[in-house]
Amino acid sequence: MSDADDRLAGLDPAAHRTYQHADLDAMITRIVAVPVGASSARWQRLQARFAGGLIAATLATALAFVATQGAPSLPALAIQRALTNPSPSFATAIPMKAAEDLHFSAGAAISTRAPSISSYKIDPPESAIAETARLAALFDVSGTPTAVGNGNWTVTGPSGAALNYSNVGVPQWYYSSTSPKVAPAEKSSSVPVPMPSHAALESTVQLFFSKLDYNYALSSPDFSTATTSTTTPAGAPLTVFSETASYSVVVDGIATGQTISFTVNPHNALVSANGPAFNVGSAVPYPLESPRAGVAALAAAEKHTFAAAAKVPVATASVTSNIVSLAPYRLKSGALWLLPLYVYSGSIPGAEGTASRTWSELAVEPTYVTGSSATFEGVSN
């Protein structure tokens, strides 16, 4: 095995982890007792817990200036690649292959009129090391930033508290009050002790968020509690009770695909936090294509995908609604932008019932983007 193979294996998120199902035999009994075609209650719960992540569209374009009739002259968006959150496990961002050749039908609710939603340049901190030092001081982590490769930095204090700064994609910071060298933890969503009120937790969040001094806004929070059982580097058992407030980063009221979260202990002391490090630049009014035109683009992309495929079942998707979000993209110039994205919902009839699906499509008028966008779908039975 080569060094590269060893290092690749070393990144395996499931290495050295055993899986113990709660009760395999009970699961088998449940499954064989359910009539074929029925949707399981567990699956419905899963749908409620996992949401449709937007996987980045990839565009390969050349920088050019374009001007359409009646529209301002704007530089074309020469997109290098789309950026998800700095995915903890990039493998989770691997798009899955579609199972069938889709034809698309846009419902009456899919508008032929394009909305007016701006694109936004992302202004990351000019100096990663300076921002790392600033954030470390903000979270009371004493120490000197140390480079960890590829423009990433870390500061580790004497107590084990750490501030890490990732400069890959949209810059992200991560604060932890405890040593990172702990064994993988088991978690549950309940706590046996009183936790701070949501209002108290939000006060803590506001305290730190104001100090962060980024100009993006936050959605309303989602709260969650957890009991985390792990072991210290010395092997001693450690149980931590925590409450987390998670927010979506929004710009002009639109979700951006970025999140920020703060976790406190029963005493409302911050134990961990993470979020993006950027300011929102000026809004640029790139014209958008209509949602209905976006559906046509979906269809064109799907047709292209399966042009050479054989023995692929054909299905017709009914697209019934759409929303607009902002998603981060890196241009070939290196600049980061938040660009409007249509997120469509619809359904596909099949032998086992109707499946609900989602798709996404870059909303910027294609004449301002040289190249074509990839599209992505989700499904629930």
Q: Which of residues 110-139 bind other proteins (CB under 8 A)?
A: none
3-state secondary structure of 281: strand
Q: What does the alpha-carbon distance between residue 332 and residue 49 come to, in Å, rounded to a whole number?
A: 36
In the complex, minimum distance from the CB of residue 70 to other proteins, in angstroms, rounded to a whole number = 31
Q: Which of residues 181-200 bind other proteins (CB under 8 A)?
A: 182, 185-189
16 scored as a contact of other proteins (CB under 8 A)? no
User: Between β-strands 336-350 and 314-331, what pairing exists: parallel, antiparallel or unpaired?
Assistant: antiparallel
145 scored as a contact of other proteins (CB under 8 A)? no
219 scored as a contact of other proteins (CB under 8 A)? yes
177 scored as a contact of other proteins (CB under 8 A)? no
The one segment of 34-42, 122-130, 133-141, 194-202 that binds other proteins by CB under 8 A: 34-42
CB 375 within 8 A of CB 130: no
The one segment of 3-11, 112-120, 202-210, 291-299 that binds other proteins by CB under 8 A: 3-11
In the complex, minimum distance from the CB of residue 213 to other proteins, in angstroms, rounded to a whole number = 20
Q: Choose which of 57, 78, 82, 85 interacts with other proteins (CB under 8 A).
A: 85
The one segment of 118-126, 161-169, 193-201, 278-286 that binds other proteins by CB under 8 A: 161-169
Decide whether 90 or 105 has the Cβ nearer to other proteins.
90
Q: Where are the alpha helices (DSSP H) in the chain?
A: 3-10, 24-33, 41-49, 128-138, 198-212, 291-305
The pattern of x and - marking residues 330 through 359 that bind other proteins according to CB under 8 A reads: -------------x-x------x---xxx-
Decide whether 10 or 192 has the Cβ nearer to other proteins.
10
CB 201 within 8 A of CB 264: yes
The one segment of 115-123, 178-186, 233-241, 293-301 that binds other proteins by CB under 8 A: 178-186
Decide whether 78 or 341 has the Cβ nearer to other proteins.
341
Quick count: other Cβ atoms within 10 Å of Cβ 150? 8
Decide whether 91 or 137 has the Cβ nearer to other proteins.
91
Tokens of 52: 């449709």
61 scored as a contact of other proteins (CB under 8 A)? no
Q: Which of residues 260-319 bind other proteins (CB under 8 A)?
A: 261, 263, 272, 274-275
In the complex, minimum distance from the CB of residue 41 to other proteins, in angstroms, rounded to a whole number = 10
Q: CA-CA distances (angstroms) from residue 179 to 132, 173, 175, 216, 239?
A: 18, 16, 11, 30, 14
Q: What does the alpha-carbon distance between residue 177 and residue 180 come to, in Å, rounded to a whole number?
A: 9
In the complex, minimum distance from the CB of residue 187 to other proteins, in angstroms, rounded to a whole number = 5
Q: Choose which of 63, 64, 68, 92 interacts with other proteins (CB under 8 A).
A: 92
Tokens of 165: 């700064």
Q: What does the alpha-carbon distance between residue 77 and residue 364 come to, in Å, rounded to a whole number?
A: 9
Going along 232-335, which residue ranges are E strands? Answer: 237-251, 254-264, 270-276, 279-284, 314-331
In the complex, minimum distance from the CB of residue 122 to other proteins, in angstroms, rounded to a whole number = 16
CB 132 within 8 A of CB 138: no
Q: What does the alpha-carbon distance between residue 18 and residue 136 come to, in Å, rounded to a whole number?
A: 36
Decide whether 41 or 130 has the Cβ nearer to other proteins.
41
36 scored as a contact of other proteins (CB under 8 A)? yes
Q: Choose which of 24, 62, 108, 193 interacts with other proteins (CB under 8 A).
A: 24
Query: Residue 200: which of 264, 247, 248, 138 has the closest Cα?
Result: 264
How many residues form the binding site for other proteins (CB under 8 A)? 102
The one segment of 63-71, 240-248, 278-286, 291-299 that binds other proteins by CB under 8 A: 240-248
Q: What does the alpha-carbon distance between residue 343 and residue 361 come to, in Å, rounded to a whole number?
A: 7
Q: What does the alpha-carbon distance between residue 30 and residue 17 come to, in Å, rounded to a whole number?
A: 26
Q: What does the alpha-carbon distance between residue 341 and residue 323 come to, in Å, rounded to a whole number?
A: 8
Phi-psi region of 150 (alpha: psi -120 to 50; beta: other; left: phi over 0): left
252 scored as a contact of other proteins (CB under 8 A)? no
The one segment of 100-108, 123-131, 165-173, 203-211 that binds other proteins by CB under 8 A: 165-173
Q: Choose which of 115, 180, 313, 353 interacts with other proteins (CB under 8 A).
A: 180
CB 167 within 8 A of CB 152: yes
